[in-house]
Structure 1
Amino acid sequence: MIKLNLHDAILALTNSLDYVGVDAMQHGKRVGHMASLVAHTLGWSEARGRHMLHAGMLHDYGVSHVREDRHLNDSLEWDGAEAHCVRGAAYLEACPALSGFRDIVRYHHRNWSELAEVSGLAPDTALEANLICLVDRADVLLTPYLSGGHLHNNIVWESHQIVERLRPLSGHQFAPVLVEAFARTAASEAFWLSMEPGYLDEELSSRCKQAPPALVAVQDLRELAGLMARVIDAKSHYTDDHSRRVAAISRHLAAVMGRGGDDLVMIEIAGLLHDVGKLRVPEDIIAKPGALTREEHAYITRHSYDTYRILMQLFPQTPIPRWAGAHHENLLGEGYPFRRDASQIELESRILSVADIFQALLQDRPYRPRLTLDEVILCMTSMVVEGRLDGEVLSVLIREREACLRLASSEFPLPSF
């Protein structure tokens, strides 16, 4: 069993979502913070207010593309908003620890006037979903006051304009009781000034300390990691299922090489999340068929360090961040982001590197077609000869090549452990 603070986990998930927008940082945090403050004004319980905080932080979990994120944050209404709600609800439903947020996420872009027609949706949940809708749109109006990592001072004088933009939508897009509660909450300067990025991070960090860590079952951890992996791989159809298959190959190789118990679970989780930093990379770069520019390559180069930082928040007392963050290191010390040499690279990171390269070479990519199994083995053998890849790990993969090929290929279902 591994100790995990659910608030810490949701905060890490939200930080990874921030990367999807590239420039639109902290959107989920502000939405959650606003929702919890309005919930307090409404007299809702502390537990329900915390639920709204977390719902707001997770509300855009179905967003994987920069273009989609920008549509959502450029206007008060967008016809294409429904798709990410459906995806997000499906992702959360598959993760028991977060399934309680499913319906809020599913309906957070539905107008209040339409929610009564949704079959089976509890009235309290409908109101909660509409609260997320309201503060989500309030944050769209707040965004022009945020730049350079700071909140502009003139929000103090102009915040009433945001409230007045939302009032005419009462009764149709938003529940009247929520609009009035938002107006009362937003009447104080403190409400708006608490959106200052540094203050917001302090507030959310302090809430982490109020939530005691809990022992989380291994299966729940795997499903939480799988939830993140689905969003990562949805960045491009070229990387569909890449993370889950790297995880399965890594686990198989580690087991054959004598690892067992929690080590197998942790290397599987590291495989599922090894590319979480790629959420920061615009999909146009991931899908580019030609050579990358210097600036575009910088996006790619930093993704493994972003992975390391996100996983340090989620699994700080485990080796998972180290293993996943080092999957682009090589034994010559010429990899990234740490430039570690062979003496500093753990076996688990070496396994992840081999599994990552093997699965990627067997997938079509925008800049090349997939390779055959023989071509992949020849290519990876040359990397061992050059001193870049671990020869022992590759020899195990070659010995297990039929099993690894099945785990790597989308034509075959993945096993459940």
Structure 2
Amino acid sequence: MEFPKEDVCVDMHRVLFEIAYALDAVGYDEIYHGHRVAYIAYSCAMRMGWSEEKAHKAFALGLIHDCGVSENSELDVLLTSFIPQETQRHCIKGYELLQACEPLNHFAIPILYHHTDWRQLSEIPDISDDDKQLSALIFLADRVDYLQCSRPYDSYGNVTSESKRYIAAELSANAGTIFNPSIVESMNELLTCDDFWFSMELRHIENLSSQFVHAFANRSQTGLEESICVAELFAQIVDAKSSFTYQHSNHVARLAEYLAGKLGYSPQTCRMLYLAGLIHDIGKLKTPSSILHKPDQLTDDEYCCIKRHATDSRHALENMFKDSLVIDWAANHHERLDGSGYPLGLTAKQLDGPSRLVAVTDVFQALTQSRPYRAGLSLEKTLRILEELVDDGKLDRQVFDCISANREVCYRISTGCEYLAEPA
């Protein structure tokens, strides 16, 4: 089964912003932390006379610097102490995630060392001077944001002169030991500039980045396999919000690719469906954890929050994937053939085969997967429920028949068991 040949690509510029938004959703009390760190780092880099390319890289690193944070306890440490302890774990995890993601692996080293004291960092061999300086700048920018957020603002929401002096004094007291002294000097000069503070707002930060080209040179758009790499990185970030959601997306992706092959889709389309499975629930990052994990029946308001994730997924995907079929295949996973689904209420005429396939695999996997509040259903009970939905005109019969014919393999994929090849 063929679809128009599509060169799937992801816009890496927008991916970095979506990572920053995703990290906000994981648990920061102070949202847009990544945006502000990016802005602070870029502003300081430009004041120091760094090249535009290097300053743009500092901006990008600021957006994603905390991609390795995976637990609320790690967030608490970062947000309650000026010089946080036990930061190594999230630095190492961030390094590993980025190193495994080819389009972003050039950011891995600075992220690994972005909480390393300058005295130690300056002596580490086999790291380029640029990476040392970038790590040191991100560390300092991160702590400037911590300090300004921990201080009271004036009655109009602006940083007070007293807070500016306090921040500068804290940086100076640690220059040459924890922080790079030359960067501290430039940062303290920057802190006295009113425009620097007045421009630290979301609209300006996003507009500012639209000028950047060098940070993403030859990497601004990538192919299908690189896009999958980025999607797998997002899956790891989702894991920080909810491990069962992360496992759900991974298993839906594997199951969708397997069924697509059985249904005769081209290898390219099979991989695109794997990608769609990985990213179909990305909007759940904005769903409150209390609702995701609630064991009881949802209220109308809570169900509205759940339904919103499909729209949030579409918007995030539209930012990263331009005019791609994958967007619809992923975002339509709660639509139903009879028009009873959400969020658009699409009908059979508006839902193509891949969209139908993702919808069926989503339901099958959700039923078979154990959640914090219930055990997964048996294969037999899952198939009975699915068949009722098919008979009611909600889900696609052809996809259901394919699952039924390959039920044991589908169940193993869906429940995360080791995949065993079917006998020849």
Q: Which is further off, 210-219 or 365-374?
A: 210-219
Distance of 1:112 and 1:292 partners within structure 2: 50
The gaps in structure 1 that reach 5 residues or longer are none
Distance of 1:120 and 1:352 partners within structure 2: 46
Distance of 1:320 and 1:186 partners within structure 2: 44
Tell me which of 252, 256, 259 is aligned to 1:253: 259
Distance of 1:143 and 1:306 partners within structure 2: 28
1:50 maps to 56
Q: Which is further off, 321-330 or 58-67?
A: 58-67
2:172 maps to 167
Cα distance change, pair 123–278 in 1 and its aligned pair in 2 (3 A) = same
Give SS of 2:324's match.
Answer: coil
1:334 maps to 340
Cα distance change, pair 77–288 in 1 and its aligned pair in 2 (3 A) = farther
Cα distance change, pair 215–101 in 1 and its aligned pair in 2 (3 A) = closer
2:194 maps to 189
Q: Does 1:229 align with 2:225?
A: no
Cα distance change, pair 412–117 in 1 and its aligned pair in 2 (3 A) = farther
Q: Does 1:98 align with 2:80?
A: no
Give SS of 2:276's match.
Answer: helix
1:37-186 equivalent positions in 2, closer than 5 A: 37-65=43-71, 68-69=74-75, 71-116=77-122, 118=124, 120-143=126-149, 152-155=157-160, 158-186=163-191
Distance of 1:73 and 1:140 partners within structure 2: 7
Give SS of 1:337's match.
Answer: coil
Cα distance change, pair 117–365 in 1 and its aligned pair in 2 (3 A) = farther
1:265 maps to 271
C-alpha displacement of 1:160: 3.6
TM-score by length of 1: 0.88
C-alpha displacement of 1:308: 0.8
Cα distance change, pair 18–237 in 1 and its aligned pair in 2 (3 A) = closer
C-alpha displacement of 1:252: 1.9
Q: Does 1:200 align with 2:192?
A: no
Distance of 1:143 and 1:262 partners within structure 2: 47
Distance of 2:381 and 2:146 partners within structure 1: 49
CA contact (8 A) 1:66 1:282 kept: no
Equivalent residue letter for 2:252: V
Measured against aligned partners, the alpha-carbon deviations of 1:161-213 in whole angstroms (never above 9, x if no partner) come to 33233322223321111211211222211211221222222212343799677
Measured against aligned partners, the alpha-carbon deviations of 1:59-91 in whole angstroms (never above 9, x if no partner) come to 111234556445433432333433222221111
TM-score by length of 2: 0.87
Give SS of 1:73's match.
Answer: helix
Give SS of 1:241's match.
Answer: helix
Cα distance change, pair 156–208 in 1 and its aligned pair in 2 (3 A) = farther
Q: Does 1:24 align with 2:30?
A: yes
C-alpha displacement of 1:40: 1.7
1:242 maps to 248
Percent of aligned pairs sharing the same letter: 33
The gaps in structure 2 that reach 5 residues or longer are 1-6
Distance of 1:210 and 1:114 partners within structure 2: 27
Cα distance change, pair 343–24 in 1 and its aligned pair in 2 (3 A) = farther
Q: How big is the alpha-carbon RMSD for the aligned residues of Structure 1 and Structure 2?
A: 2.9
C-alpha displacement of 1:23: 5.2
Higher Cα Rg, which structure: 2
Give SS of 2:241's match.
Answer: coil
C-alpha displacement of 1:248: 1.4
Q: Which is further off, 211-220 or 1-10?
A: 211-220
Equivalent residue letter for 1:385: D
Equivalent residue letter for 1:308: R
C-alpha displacement of 1:312: 0.5
Q: How many residues get paired?
A: 412
Equivalent residue letter for 2:35: K
1:290-329 equivalent positions in 2, closer than 5 A: 290-329=296-335
